[in-house]
Structure 1
């Protein structure tokens, strides 16, 4: 009897061993929040992030739409932490909430990579596992201003009243947003430093949104002063596209400049509806976010075995000015 039981036990052990599946290396679980999915630029960056994750094969993304509400984003972060993600990759709704978000990661001892909205060095420095991927927002304003100057100098007809001064309207992004403030300041500062005077006729927030920007520009153009606008500068392409629709509705042609170089904007440059934009390199930002996230999750240095350079605690992906002269380099 004992011999029979031993044979049965041996048989069960063999069956058990034979049925055990070989498991591959555990995937890195990255918890991602995007401030809102339907933002033109963030939509393309999110798609690039998914492509890079699929190419890597060892990554599982948890993607969340924060619907432009910081409270929703905070809850999403708490949920991802409770699910045991290996690293957080966060596009803040409100840059002022950076300290709160980083503290959540610190309390859970989870590395965090913030991207596209800079929380500032002080916040990043509060946690040894916090880093940022983005760019230098001043550059985007400089490139936008340089492109505007180049075209203004080349085409005297843009000076509609012949006074040598650019009468302009400015569409700003989110109030207080570091990129919005820097782009607004440095675009005009660059134009002035090139020896061209400017006169601000209108300035208002379009909240990065095409529909809202269209409404703002429509109201401007409906006023007597609106007829004297010579140029529209927008903090992003989404608002620039809205401005184009408003000018078309009023049967007015104006040089309009954006930032981001999304494909729709590049098509508008090609057909002459948009004067210029600035490449906000979302593809390389997405690549840097994934590279840093994987390294931190695997307890490596943030830029180990990559080509990225660290500026204090940030990877800065450079901007590039885009107009009809170099459009072919960026149009897919």
Structure 2
């Protein structure tokens, strides 16, 4: 499925503006929501999700405060305590550590404060069952990797020249996100399985992971790979997110190298790079949709309604109490 979201994303970003690296309120009065972002250094969370949360809260006349957890779970735990002490009606938490969900859920339960976890899904099995007022908004992590892999496989088959050494094997490098993060693990695994599933042989030349998913990491790592002993063998660059892909592109341009490269998130800059022919594809991680679902659920549960009442959102029927926002492949 090919779609161009460039105009849409430009409009959204220009409309809501950038979000500063400090606590902010979107409006006064109405439902009060205390929200955390695991790390404002994350291009996607700070550049797409946070502005959309702020905008949709304002549209619903809710009072929203967003804080930066600075990639520290202990700091986030303290922030949750502060929100609870201030009497917010709903907590919206983008976990720093998905394995630490129990602590946050128990805090919310003790205060009888509804909790919406988003973007980072708890990894502990059954932990959502300990509290009846906790829900999750996110994606099917595997889907992004599958779509990314399908794009890569289709392009590989359509471009015989990408197989530089003519051995019939795709030699690739992988820029991986945070180790243990459900999205990073699923994207890394499923992208390659999807490529193999199309009958393409692959060889991993290198894989490096970054807890912050940063552009600087992508730049530094790609620069090192290009000057390594296998630098000239690289045929495809796969990144778990657009941010790291941006850094890799900068490194390639500095080295005078052009290689097929794919990311995930469909950030505005990625869409522009695709238009310019500097990036081959990305996968729309609908941060705006996730943000809307978070605010919609918050408004409902604060009013004592069913989480999805009056909305088009659907909770999964497997008892996971999760809303999954679909991914979309973007190649043009």
CA contact (8 A) 2:29 2:63 kept: no
How far the C-alpha of 1:26 sits from its partner, in A, is 5.7
Distance 1:127 1:217 in 2: 44
How far the C-alpha of 1:123 sits from its partner, in A, is 1.6
Match of 2:171 in 1: 167
Distance 1:258 1:125 in 2: 34
Match of 1:13 in 2: none
User: Does 2:146 align with 1:138?
Assistant: no
SS of aligned partner of 1:125 = helix
Distance 2:277 2:101 in 1: 40
Structure with the greater relative contact order (CA < 8 A, sep ≥ 6): 1 or 2? 2
Match of 1:20 in 2: none
Match of 1:122 in 2: 126
What do residues 70-112 of structure 1 show as CA deviations (whole Å, max 9, x unaligned)? 1111111100000000010000111111111111101111000
User: 5+ unaligned residues in a row in structure 2: which ranges?
Assistant: 1-27
How far the C-alpha of 1:260 sits from its partner, in A, is 0.3
SS of aligned partner of 1:38 = coil
Which is higher, the Rg of structure 1 or of structure 2?
1
Over 2 Å off, 4+ runs: none
What do residues 194-249 of structure 1 show as CA deviations (whole Å, max 9, x unaligned)? 00000000001133111012111111111121210000100000001111011111
Which of 237, 260, 266 is the equivalent residue of 1:261?
A: 266
Match of 1:251 in 2: 256
How far the C-alpha of 1:38 sits from its partner, in A, is 2.7
User: 5+ unaligned residues in a row in structure 1: which ranges?
Assistant: 1-24, 325-332
CA contact (8 A) 1:206 1:239 kept: no
Distance 1:30 1:89 in 2: 7
Match of 2:156 in 1: 152
Match of 1:4 in 2: none
Q: Figure out how many residues of one structure are paired with residues of the other and give that number.
A: 299
Backbone CA RMSD of aligned residues: 1.1
User: Does 2:83 align with 1:84?
Assistant: no
Distance 2:268 2:220 in 1: 23
Match of 2:209 in 1: 205
Match of 1:104 in 2: 107
TM-score normalised to the size of structure 2?
0.88
Distance 2:131 2:231 in 1: 49
Match of 1:318 in 2: 326
CA contact (8 A) 2:120 2:138 kept: yes
